[in-house]
Homo-oligomer: A and B are copies of this chain.
Amino acid sequence: MLPQEFGKGLTRDWRPEPSHHHLPRPLSLTMNTAGDEEGVPGGRAEPAQQLGGEAAGGKAPSKLSAHSFTPGWTKVSCTCCVSERVEPLVVVKLGQKVIPETKRWLIKLIGAPQKDGGAGLLAHPGEDATGNIIVLSAPRCTLLRATEELGLCKIYRNGDMEAFAYDDRKHFRDSENMEVFLTSAERQYIIKYELDGLRAQKDLRIPGLLDSCTLQKRDSIWQKLRAAGVVVDTFPLHNPGKLKDLSEAWYCGNQLAQPLDKVNEYFGSSVAFYFSFLDFYTWSLLPPAILGLFIAYFSIEVQREMLQSVSGSQAEEVQNEPEPLISGHMLQAVFSMLWSTVVMELWKRRSSSLSYRWGTLNLAERFAEPRPGFHGDLGVNPVTGRMEPLFPEWKRDLRMALVSVPAVGLFLGLVVLGMMCFYRAEAGVKQLHKDWNSMVSQTLLYVPSVLHIVYTNMLATAYRTLAQALTEYENHREESAYDNHLTGKILVFTFFNNFAVLFHIAFFKQDVPLLRKRLASLLIISQVVNQVTEVVIPFLVDRFISAPHRTESEDDPEEDKFRNQGTLPLFPGLFAEYIELLVQFGYLSLFSCVFPLTAVLLLLNNLTEIRSDAYKICKLFRKPFTPPVAGLGVWQLAFEVLSFVSVVSNCWLLLLSPHLQGLSQEAGLSDSNLLMGAVIVEHVLILVKVIMAALIPDEPDWIRKKREHIEYTSMQALRQQKLNVQES
């Protein structure tokens, strides 16, 4: 169903049946001094109508003309935003106990202009004023102003992307038509942004609530409402028509390329960046996969040796053939070490062109209002000159250094402790089983593993809570800084948790065959498990448990459909997807020389992963609010760090490899000479990687030129402005 039909749907349901009329009316009495039901027809409505015509074919305009008003919606404050149809964007779910008075107050607040302390949005009380949802939309001016505040770039009349300016809106392409000008994700995010930005202009009592819930000046109203249970949930609405188009272009056919621009349009840049990276990364697996296959096919001896070393009988073969000086493993390792740097540098370039294309190259989060959770002494921001809470940088640094770092360290220590206990317990139990050899000792064999899994899970849960609390305590000003610090904390822990065992095998046990076995099983099992838990289970749950309660027919009122979307599970965010990629990348880059087919397996996995992730986000979850972002954020750093750590680990594993050990014995090299050689190779490789990373520019030439052009013109403009100010 297309957006304008949504609007019509609302109109149709709420107008023809008189039974619905008596309830929205009190709203219109409180909200609108002018007539509510009549709307303002006129020239402004033309473009929207044309769009409707374009999008829905020839059918729509004739129907649309029948409804030239938007009953039930709060009135817009400026005439330029009056439109004959309103696209429902976001649903706010209220608590069960919320009385109509509170709901009316809330609708009034949301609809009030921003200068009066409102959100400047459009609100609709749903089917009736006692219902527990409010449907939100945004008028043009609010959307455009927020676009400027967020620092989004849009297409200027000369075809370049330029930072949008509200006052200059006429010269931006399509700025009349919000459904083309802003992506659907941006429109919805802006509503969230405005709601989060609601602050009490003075001390305030919320009608219908206890006195304990009074708002103090500058309190975040939305936070308070959530805390008080008035607002239970806020979620953006799916657009079934668009979603269908998107899914057809994305995962239904056999297409190789993803419709990334459409993904950005529908799900926003943070989701689009994930899928772009997944795409880029998958294709960049081709060279190591081909090399891996090549090595596995041609250097049969090495392969056989490897297989034999897994099965434990290698003695016979070694003497038969002269060993080549450079084994396949070495080739694979050196290639994958250099390859990972090249891939990450190329991704940075791709990332910056995508971010230019999607208008997020110079997001102005630093200059916007701080995030709602940010607190501090009220003062004048030295950068923007606005009044807002301030929190000194050094205090945050101190909190990070003295609280967060030790806490994270403690938990990493607990992971290691758990692992050590597990190993000791396992050894003890095995000994016990040998001594007793009874049924009891047989079952006891599984106890350490079970205990370890339980311990690890508990630790992970506790850590997640702690990480959230710590990041909140660090009091970051920007949403993205908060996200990055939170993600960073969890990421370090999760990664550590995933790799502790492998590192233990590689660096302490120094048992390459065991490592190879583990790695192969991890690669295969974890991928199967991932696919099952991520897609199959949610799909089954959705199909057989949730869906029967959610059957909807075309004739259902729109509101019920909205409510139904609320029953879908919350989108869990991209953390799990990213960490999966990172762990994969870790298997590949850290231990690639052990198992040459890693890249092949990962390539196969990722080709299905793209589709299953796309299916998942489209079908199984509510649509998420996604902030506009300019790249991968902290994940970028994580991948780069991993790419450097991989040099250390690969050199070490090569040193342990039986092949090299054999060679050095033949050549009569001592252990320390061999080690010295490995250290030198490692240093050279790291040096080469650092130089490569420094030499490959992080952004394409054309973007650099555009950026410098913007810098230059804004420098000029600043001078001009100072002059104008002083002359006038």
Chain A residues with a Cβ under 8 A of chain B: 148, 163, 165, 167-168, 170-171, 364, 366-367, 382-384, 393-394, 397, 648, 670-672, 674-676, 679, 683, 695, 701, 705-706, 708-710, 712-724, 726
Contacts and interface: CB of A to CB of B under 8 A. Distances in A.
A708 B383 contact: yes
A723 to B, nearest CB: 5
A722 B672 contact: no
A24 to B, nearest CB: 39
Contacts of A148: 719
Q: How many copies does the complex hold?
A: 2
A395 B712 CA distance: 24
A366 B708 CA distance: 9
A402 to B, nearest CB: 13
A720 B168 CA distance: 8
B726 A718 contact: no
6 contacts: A163-B718, A675-B676, A713-B721, A714-B715, A717-B720, A720-B721
A617 B132 CA distance: 81
A676 B672 CA distance: 9
Given A165-B719, A717-B718, A719-B167, A705 B383 contact: yes
Contacts of A718: 163, 710, 713-714, 717-718
Contacts of A723: 165, 167-168
Query: What is the interface of chain A mostly: helix, strand, loop, or mixed?
Result: helix
Given A675-B675, A679-B679, A715-B367, A383 B709 contact: yes
Contacts of A675: 672, 675-676, 679
Contacts of A165: 719, 722-723
Given A383-B712, A672-B674, 8 more contacts: A148-B719, A367-B712, A648-B683, A670-B671, A672-B675, A675-B679, A714-B714, A717-B719
Contacts of A712: 367, 383-384
Contacts of A714: 714-715, 717-718
Contact of A163 (B394, B671, B715): B715
Contacts of A701: 393-394
A627 B689 CA distance: 34
Nearest to A648: B683
A726 B168 CA distance: 9
Contacts of A674: 672
Contacts of A382: 705-706, 709
Contacts of A721: 713, 716-717, 720-721
Contacts of A163: 715, 718-719
Contacts of A726: 168, 170-171
Q: Closest 7 A-B residue pairs measured CB to CB?
A: A165-B719, A717-B721, A714-B718, A671-B672, A714-B714, A717-B717, A672-B672
Contacts of A683: 648
A708 B383 CA distance: 6
Nearest to A726: B171
Contacts of A670: 671-672
Most buried by B among A675, A676, A708, A717: A717
A676 B651 CA distance: 13
Contacts of A709: 382-384
Most buried by B among A384, A674, A712: A712
